[in-house]
A and B are shown apart, each in its own frame.
Chain A
């Protein structure tokens, strides 16, 4: 399967049209429009950008300044994120080797603002992959502050990514106030963030209860054969348990039993 996927990807990547489009990124040839951010300029090709972004298409074609001057200036975003988005339009990918977490967070929000869902999904994927490689950097705290600064109350893919990492390592983060002082400081001044953590825990408890109610009859303990006959069993389904890192306990008392 994986091999087949890879070969299909290779084939797609070597398609002459795609190669042609990729070669145009950052290339002034045939370009017909300018984009600008933080003083940095890109000569772009409307034929490539506009079909992929309705918002930018309206700006380029409309009767506003952008349409008349044939120049679009981004404000309130960083140039690297804009570069990543434009790169995505030409190559359906962007490089995130430097300042990985923050770049992905910013691309994610830029994609959201410009209603470009595929790019948003890609950014989220990249974000969670780099967080799973090393979560305990200062980037996590920065990302939390940035995200809750832009959109304190909304839900977004970025928030879900960050909250998952935090919840996973919550015990460790809380246990060492010295080591994770930045995290503690940020938590203290970002109530929305704390609320999200709490709500997340509550969801977890709920889902455990749901699991008990609906799956109790099918759960059994490998070492205690009769436990199912003793009425409702506070067993947590393995799938739920492993996802939320909860220890499974058999009602007969001993720890370390595994569900069948």
Chain B
């Protein structure tokens, strides 16, 4: 304590500095040192300066509460420096044309090369000024760090660096180049946009110069608040850039649509998009890439897609000429802007529908030319004349239709795989168009069945298993699109029936393969009846063999006994009307009992007895109109030198009956048409057709007709042709109704009517099934449920459902629910 009182030490350790009153003088001196140093820094002469000295001086000023004054002085210094030195230097490089904001007026005065050159000079100078400013300011910031940390933070001023960046913006970029001229920022934007335009036109530009200036704009803000969204790059440049780019590409797109072809357009558009992305990375700012690409996509794709697709060289041309690569380009382009590919989808659907309509129209036209002359009678006559080998023209049209539709599908499947990257949207669209095409044609069910029929009879001959399988698969493809599956079933049954009974099918195993494919595709119930037909065939074969051995066992090996081959058909399963000709449709055949000669009748009763022993309580109905017979016939002068010769004749059962009549006739005698009919009971139309084969067709003219003409008329007389000659041992009599061919209009109406009737039953069954389960159901719900349940078989007609509901109410299966809010039905047990 005592030592504190001593005076000596006090004098010795007095603090070195006093100067409490000379703050102002101190400040001016100290600032003088700093200002001089700053000038050195700006003139790139800093190596002799002492950081310590400058830092200490700035520290002292702030410590003495003169931070605000220092800050102001530094800012003033910078402002003066920028305005007096830097601005002048930059502006000096501006040639008058560069100062014009409207670039078009400049163009007339200078060549592109000159403009590019002077633009680059300006960009280089501005970049230099900016870089210098940054370097100097970071040095200043270093020595003024104490001011930034203490004064700026306490008084909430922007750092001196940020402040000086704002000064650069205000003193350089926002100052007009000269009086009455635009500000430098606008000129800069214009020059950069000009350079980019040159780049787009294929000139080489100095990308790093632009990039540097863009970085400057990215480093500066619209205001001193330095809001992130208000960078000068965004506010002053990017908007302008996007707008001019939109103009540029709008014009370019329009020109391209006019002047070039679609393929070139696509490649160009794709290149442009990539280019703009690259340009953003190399020359502008990465952040602009998605924006400018969106602009290009808008202008070159989104707004032009329709025009592009509809060009002369557009999508239709590409499809017609198999330009898969170019279709791929179109797809790529639209896929960029639209997940759904709306325009392309619409165009492709339209083309498919048009092509499909053409195929259908061609089929209709082809069938019209041949079907026009009139009835099947006449066709039959033509056929009898020209021979059985001639295939009906309408049937050809049907086959062509199926194959064309398949080809159409193949073609677009190929396009879809190769050009459309197996896109799901387009697949759906293609499928819908194919289905529409097929279902818009009312005869498609019949045609598809005929297509299968033809392949079963001829198409699969000499084919490998794999080829057969692909043929069947094609049929299934068509079937998949088909809506009226029940109608198809009707036709298929009819066609299958003839193939089986007339032994036309190439291979039963392929038939069965087809059935199992349909089973997979359409379900069990669809193929139930078809399978039953095959079962009948197998059973019949067993029966025939059984009968043969039964007859042999009887012991009376009668050589003259007629052999019998028989097919026993379950009556509900087989569409027996298939064998009825169109003309006989409304004749009541059931009551007519065909009269058989004794030799045939013996076999018939024999089999009936045999069958009844095996299955009691079953009634056999003999379908004589479907059978055929092998006869050995001896003609007196048919051989060489007029010697008798025996021929093997294959003909229908009816023809056999007719020929047998002439066996018993004395030579030279004749029978009238009516006499033959009375003796056999063959329906007149069938009789006429068979007589036509036997007495008119030249190769099988076993009978002579009187008078000699093509038509068979009542009153015509027939006699045995003694002079018949043929070089073949085996002769086949053309069976007029044997082939499966397109129905006549009347037949068709009948099929449709039947189909509608059966649909009626199916609908009724379905409604009852639903109501039994639900007891009470609203009208609309019932309709929807019915439609859903039946859609696998066909598309039910709403009116028909309503009618069926009415009829069910009448028959007291259902009743209306009176108290229900919405119309409803109740099931009556």
Contacts and interface: CB of A to CB of B under 8 A. Distances in A.
A182 interface: yes
B52 A58 contact: no
Given A137-B3, A179-B5, A182-B4, A67 B56 contact: no
Nearest to B17: A149
Given A136-B4, A182-B5, A154 B65 contact: yes
A180 interface: yes
A65 B47 contact: yes
A151 interface: yes
Interface in B1-18: 1, 3-7, 9-10, 13-15, 17-18
A65 B5 contact: no
B481 interface: no
Contacts of A149: 15, 17-18
Given A115-B149, A149-B17, A150-B63, 17 more contacts: A55-B55, A58-B145, A59-B55, A64-B46, A65-B48, A65-B50, A74-B52, A113-B56, A113-B146, A136-B1, A137-B4, A138-B10, A142-B13, A146-B15, A149-B18, A178-B5, A182-B10
A244 B64 CA distance: 31
Contacts of A54: 145
Contacts of A59: 51-52, 55, 142
B139 interface: yes
Nearest to B10: A182
A184 to B, nearest CB: 11
A100 B53 CA distance: 28
B20 interface: yes
Interface centre among B7, B139, B142 (most CB of A within 10 A): B142
Contacts of A153: 64-65
17 contacts: A62-B51, A64-B46, A64-B54, A64-B139, A65-B48, A65-B50, A72-B52, A74-B52, A113-B59, A137-B3, A149-B15, A149-B17, A151-B63, A153-B64, A181-B5, A182-B5, A183-B4
A141 interface: yes
B27 to A, nearest CB: 14
B4 A66 contact: no
Contacts of A115: 145-146, 149
What bracket does the count of chain B residues touching chain A fall in?
35 or more
Nearest to B19: A149
Interface of A: 54-55, 58-59, 62-68, 72-76, 102, 113, 115, 136-138, 140-142, 145-146, 149-154, 178-183, 185
B428 interface: no
A140 B4 CA distance: 9
Nearest to A136: B1
A111 B3 CA distance: 30
Contacts of B15: 142, 145-146, 149-150
Contacts of B56: 75-76, 113
B49 interface: yes
A108 B18 CA distance: 20
Contacts of B55: 55, 59
Interface of B: 1, 3-7, 9-10, 13-15, 17-18, 20, 46-56, 59, 63-65, 139, 142-143, 145-146, 149
B50 A66 contact: yes
A141 B10 contact: yes
B149 to A, nearest CB: 6
Nearest to A65: B50
Contacts of A58: 51, 142, 145
Contacts of B65: 153-154
A59 B1 CA distance: 45
A149 B15 CA distance: 7
A98 B794 CA distance: 110
A64 B7 CA distance: 45
B4 A180 contact: yes
A138 B145 contact: no
Given A75-B53, A113-B146, A145 B4 contact: no
A113 B57 CA distance: 11
Nearest to B63: A151
B4 A64 contact: no
A151 B424 CA distance: 80
A72 B20 CA distance: 29
A154 B142 contact: no
Contact of A179 (B1, B10, B63, B145): B1
A105 to B, nearest CB: 11
Contacts of A180: 4-5
Given A54-B145, A58-B142, A145-B14, A65 B51 contact: yes
A138 B14 CA distance: 12
Contacts of B17: 149-150
A55 B145 CA distance: 7
A98 to B, nearest CB: 14
Interface pairs A-B: 8 shortest CB-CB: A64-B51, A58-B142, A149-B15, A59-B51, A66-B51, A136-B1, A146-B15, A65-B50
